[in-house]
Structure 1
Amino acid sequence: MFDVCIIGGGVAGLMLARSLPDSYSIAVVTKEHAGTGNTSLAQGGIAASLSFDDRPESHATDTLLASANHADAERVEILATEGSAIMKHLMAQGLPFDTDEFGMPKLGMEGAHSMRRIVHTGGDQTGKLLMRYLMEETSGKITRFAFHQALELRMESSRCTGVLVSDLSGKRSVVQARHVVLATGGIGQLYSETSNSSVATGDGLSLAYHAGAVLEDLEFVQFHPTILTLEGKSRGLISEAVRGEGALLVNGDGKRIMEGIHPFIELAPRDIVARAIERHWQAEGPVFLDARQLADFNQRFPSIYKNCRNHAVDPTEELLPVRPGAHFHMGGVRTDSYGRTSVPGLYAVGEVASTGVHGANRLASNSLLEGLVFAKRLAQWIGEEPGHRKEAGLVESDAPSPFASFEKVEEGKLRQEMTEVAGILREPRALKRFLAEHPLKTYRIQDYPDDLIALIHRQTARSLIASAALLREESRGGHYRIDAPEPKAEWSGQVIGLSTSGVHLSMRKTELKEIML
């Protein structure tokens, strides 16, 4: 039995492993190889108040303003205050970062921030280099189970005690642990257009749901405004940092499309920019990002430049066709401020968790910060809890029952349906039709073969998101209902939770503390 089993190996999972006591036995289970995941793809950077004229209170205020009056103010204060301290500590400990001519952090500007506070590493390679740093920091400290699919959480007396996994050969085992942590990342691959990694399929939502955990804010999906779109297909993210440095959103005639929509124009909150771009595509035609006036584009954004050139587009000379795509899930498994879920022994950190810091719309570059902050907090809690180590290892598990059946649905069709029904623009009749065809239900997971389990998890995650989108009869942040296009006072602070026991409604604190005003 391990002390801790972490399902997922991105920023949150590895920061947790780095922060746990060296005496702990730690298993890290990943669906593919160690570097696969959304963290490695992150371009924008990490938001933190580091400059002499910035303060955590200002970062917190920006976060709350972007959240569409739906974030948890106390958790936001934790994010901003502890995030600043963590970033200073990691940078002092060797985390690489881009510097100015004086050797100070070179801070970037992104949408809805009131000042420059975005730390970058290698220009637009922040996630990739952060992963490299964390992998080096945890080398020798963890036991890796790469290419192991997490099938089902194991429960004993209503407590999570491990996870059933399957390796590439199909052999099943149970990784037993005193503490089981979901760090499975996002949901982008549930949609037809996305910036996300191939492993971001919402597995963690379904794993938690089938274990009886409460999930919340599932309707709030952030669609990144600028995905390079060629011949109708997503060809990679173009970071908000490019707009932060002066790139413009224009139509085919070069006219700016954001003027008159929001005072921040290109740097308005992401939900506003994404809806404006999508509406323009549907009503008037393509939208382009004009970055031709940016100096040294290939040096400042090497990954983006390389990707564009690989698709025969030159951002220094041509307009870049862009369209929104699924990017980040603000909702997830309900946790407290230390990552504990409603199921004893089960925890969640990173994008799969709903900490309340993002509300209905995540502020740019707060995602990596959230993973760092709440992973460290969970490590602190686990490290202080009394317990004893047992010998680490795997327990073999039975093969699946040959009698289980599951109606297969073509994945490409489902992804397109999800984009049309629970994408940027949502309509209740379409959501009801989708749920009638794909109702939210539970399965005896272990009885199915591995390929069907993967489908079950994706279908469950889709049905959870669609259910929440149908329940919230208003528009707020990343959730936009065509039939109710404005926020409603009665929904302010109202949180929709879902679990196998039904719908859970609660209220969230959304006001800043007096000391933060």
Structure 2
Amino acid sequence: MDASVPQNILDALTDVDMPTLPPERPAADHLDIDGLRIPVHRAGCVVIGSGAAGLRAAVELHRRGGSVAVISQSAWGGTSACSGSDKQTLHTANTSARGDDFLAMARAIRSGGAMDEDTAYVEAVGSPRMMASLQYLGLPLPQDPLGGTLRYKTDHDEAGRATSCGPRTSRLMVQVLAREAISLGIALHNQTTAARLLVEDTDAGARVQGVLTFRTRDRSGDNPYGLALFLAPVVVLAAGGPGELYRDSVYPNGCFGALGLALEAGLRLTNLTESQFGIGTRREGFPWNLSGTYVQVIPHIYSVDSEGQEHHFLADYYRSTQELASNVFRKGYQWPFHATRMLGFGSSLVDLAIWRETAAGRRVFMDFNRNPLPVPGDAPFSLERLDGDVAAYLGTAGAIQGTPIERLRHMNPLAIELYRRYKVDIASEPLEFAVNNQHMNGGIEVDTWGRTNVPGIYAVGEAAGTHGVTRPGGAALNAGQVFGTRVAEHIAASGAATRPASGQPAAVVKTALSEITALIRPGSPHDIEGVRAEIQARMSDCAGMICDPATVARAGAEARALAASIGAKGISISRSAEASRAVQWHQMALASEAVLAALDHFITAGGGSRGARAIRDPEGQALPLARTLPLDAYRFRDERETDKREQIIVQRDKGGLLVASRDIRRFDESTRAFFERDWPASLTGRIFDLDRDGGPDDTRP
């Protein structure tokens, strides 16, 4: 791409307008309970979340005859619609040149370990269908003159399976799916916050009955909190990840996810130890990931201390200007922090250096108008002196201009346009950034059809714990679309969502109401702001990309104490409109406790450094090196091979959290389908395994 692309095309890919929501359907009836008059909405399936994964599930289920309602805290306001990077990646099977090998793609998706192997194959084999259907709906994926999809390499991807519509790829996905949902007449309810999953215990076991929510428009004298019921025999959790869990976060504001909601309902969570951390601009301004061309153009990175003095701090870590510049470039496709890449003067040494500068109270900037300064005693920066892989990439891209901003304007002018939309001109001023939490790779445990351990509840997108330790960049967008479709297929095959729910499950509603009433306490020592500050500080300071056993154990005890105290004393609010936030911050306290419990379990059992986190240990086998600085304090444990074959499961129990490990599900690559033998299972629906009504194998922790 170069600057000759007309401005109107750049505008269309940057300013992605979302469709206007249709008028909401009125409540079907009301429930009078405990002095409250609560509106009741009825559907066959309620999808919680209006992002790409949730909308995919809703559209596909509606097409298969399902009665669907989508509820959203903030329509078009989640990570799918509001997050991205330089050219946000969609990772799918490579359909150009010789095509792809799905077994090889599945191996690449699960290569970091701790991922169910059958899930990886599901994502691989489902990806062409996912991509083709998005293109059918109007997603403008780039093509070559003969129809092949343009591709490039992304993080944890050596085959070049990545493609992109530009920085707003996921927003464009939401746009085309939202238009389709509206055209199909799917009920969409905005400003609707899930408060409790209504799970009823019966003689046959637990079963979901719907969702109790907060709705702004339903607040009234006889319903001061704006409570509303969405009754349905099927619920799909698609509320994204726990963005509010960390202070240092690149998530949009207000992203709470569904982990706490799931824990309260008895759902099992998995892989909560696995997240992604990487460089990006902070959420206080315009939160955005600085991967891809932002760093591949090799800007000058520096810090500023409290006195305004600049520091060329990367020169303290790398041995030569060439090594420094080449590893800044590699952050483009090695964007997430990875412990092993701190070794051998690799690219994650950049992350460690930035993290240390920020921890020391310095502000860190990228300057696109300056090339990197030289390492003292070495030659100045030159495009003629770069590592082979870096030189080859920039040469092929034609990015041989004299300054980073000129190279960026040549390779990806959309990256410049995007920040301009938010009043930041990176062509004229430096860009402040930091290492932030970006994605939860763990989540709710599901099987290959997206079923959880509670019948009738499914999970898709970032809410689902389908990823392992690492994943190729953009694989999460693929997974959400693949599993959104599979969930819809499974629900349709079950026949559970063909008509709206009937009846009034008063007992389970009464229990949920009493829990909310007990939580909201005017005289509580806890308030929303205090709880938020405590959780976010603890997670960023104690459970970020650099951890140590003692700190994690202490943080886990503190998180457990906070969750227990909130459970006993509640949270105070100053007005009824804050009730939904009080509930969400209690759920975040539970999620924080669960993440730290899983991390402490992993570390205490001898778990090592992998993916998102380096586990510091003075007896550790791995030691990062720097040109001038001693890094003995960052000696860390190696990963154990055995841990790659396990997942850590967390479930809430009356006595607290239960934590245990289970083996990953294996996939026999030698197994081959045979048409005449296997067709009857597809025709009769045996492939959906409807007789086993419970999702993942019941290996309770």
**Normalised-by-shorter TM-score class:** 0.7 to 0.9
Q: Residue 287 of structure 2: SS of its match in structure 1?
A: strand
Residue 185 of structure 2, aligned match among 131, 141, 154? 141
> Relative to 1, partners in 2 of residues 1:389 and 1:380: Cα closer, same or farther, differing over 3 Å?
closer
Describe the shift of the 1:72–1:451 C-alpha distance in structure 2 as closer, same or farther (beyond 3 A). closer
Q: Which residue of 2 aligns with 1:242?
A: 293
State the distance in 1 between where 2:548 and 2:147 align.
Answer: 51
Distance in 2 separating the partners of 1:190 and 1:228? 17
Determine the structure 1 residue equivalent to 2:95.
Answer: 50
Match of 1:340 among 431, 447, 451: 451
Q: Are residue 132 (structure 1) and residue 172 (structure 2) matched? A: no
Residue of structure 2 in register with 1:429 after alignment: 550
Task: Give the letter for the 2:73 counterpart.
Answer: K
Relative contact order, higher structure (CA 8 A, sep 6+) = 1
Instruction: Give the conservation status (yes or no) of the 8 Å contact 1:360–1:479.
Output: no
User: Which one-letter code corresponds to 1:208 in the other structure?
Assistant: A
* 2:247 is aligned with 1:192: yes
User: Structure 1 229/192 Cα, relative in aligned 2: closer, same or farther at 3 Å?
Assistant: same
Say whether 1:206 aligns with 2:260: yes
- For 2:638 and 2:353, locate their aligned partners in 1 and report how far apart those are by CA, in whole Å: 19
Q: Which residue of 2 aligns with 1:278?
A: 351
The structural deviation recorded for 1:102 is 5.2
Tell me how far apart the structure 1 counterparts of residues 609 and 286 of structure 2 sit (CA, whole Å).
29
Larger Rg over CA atoms: 2
CA distance in 1 between partners of 2:52 and 2:613 (Å): 26
Contact kept? 2:90, 2:162, Cα under 8 Å: yes
Equivalent residue, structure 2, for 1:478: 612
**Secondary structure at 1:492 match in 2:** helix
1:174 to 195, 220, 229: 229
8 Å CA contact 1:289, 1:322 repeated in 2: no
Deviation string for 1:49-78 (max 9, x for gaps)? 22123413443333233x2x2222221121
Match of 2:271 among 202, 205, 217: 217
Distance 1:54 1:241, change over 3 A: farther
Unaligned runs of 5+ in 2: 1-41, 220-224, 303-311, 316-320, 342-346, 369-402, 572-578, 618-635, 673-701
- Give the corresponding residue for 1:353: 464
Q: Per-residue CA shift, 1:329-364, capped at 9, x if unaligned?
A: 110010001110011111100101012xx3112220
1:266-293 CA deviation, whole Å, 9 max, x = no partner? 5336232685333212556747475816
Q: Which amino acid aligns with 1:302?
A: L
Task: Give, as a single letter, the amino acid of the residue that structure 1 aligns with 2:613.
Answer: H
What residue is the counterpart of 2:117 in the other structure? 73
Distance in 2 between residues matched to 1:264 and 1:296, nearest whole Å: 15
Aligned amino acid, residue 46 of structure 1? L
For 1:92 and 1:309, locate their aligned partners in 2 and report how far apart those are by CA, in whole Å.
29
2:473 maps to 364
**Aligned match of 2:44:** 3
Q: Report the count of equivalent residues.
A: 503
Between 148-157 and 40-49, report the one with greater CA deviation: 40-49
Contact 1:51 / 1:117 at 8 angstroms: preserved in 2?
A: no
The DSSP-based 3-state class of the residue aligned with 2:404 is coil
One-letter amino acid of the structure 2 residue matched with residue 127 of structure 1: S
Is 1:507 the counterpart of 2:663? The answer is yes
Distance 2:421 2:195 in 1: 39
When residues 338 and 84 of structure 1 are mapped into structure 2, their CA distance, relative to the original with a 3 A threshold, is: same
The Cα offsets for residues 64-100 of structure 1, whole Å up to 9 and x where unpaired, read as 33x2x22222211211121123212332453322334
Matching of residues 267-306 of structure 1 within 5 Å: 267-268=333-334, 270-272=336-338, 275-283=348-356, 286=364, 288=366, 292=404, 295=407, 297=409, 300-302=412-414, 305-306=417-418
1:331 paired with 2:442, answer yes
Q: What's the counterpart of residue 157 of structure 2?
A: 113
1:13 paired with 2:54, answer yes
Q: Find the aligned partners of 1:9 and 1:229 in 2 and give their Cα distance.
A: 24
Identity %: 21
1:300 deviates by 3.1
- Provide TM-score, normalisation by structure 1: 0.87
- Whole-Å Cα distance in 2 between the matches of residues 271 and 394 of structure 1? 50
Retained in 2: the 8 A contact 1:190–1:418?
Answer: yes
- Supply the distance in 2 between the matched residues of 1:58 and 1:402 (Cα, whole angstroms): 52
Q: Which stretch shifts more, 326-335 or 280-289?
A: 280-289
Q: Which amino acid aligns with 1:83?
A: S
Counterpart of 2:72 in structure 1 is: 30
> What's the offset of the Cα at 1:166?
1.0
**Alpha-carbon distance in structure 2 between the residues aligned to 1:90 and 1:11:** 11
* Separation of aligned partners in 2, 1:147 and 1:437: 33
Q: CA deviation at 1:513?
A: 3.1
Task: Give 3-state SS (helix, strand or coil) of 1:438's partner.
Answer: helix
Per-residue CA distance 1:227-279 (angstroms, 9 max, x = gap): 0359xx664213533268x3337543584666798996753362326853332
1:119-152 per-residue CA deviation (whole Å, 9 max, x = no partner) reads 222x211111111100011114321121011000
Aligned residue number for residue 226 of structure 1: 279
Contact between 1:192 and 1:416, CA under 8 Å: does it hold in 2? yes
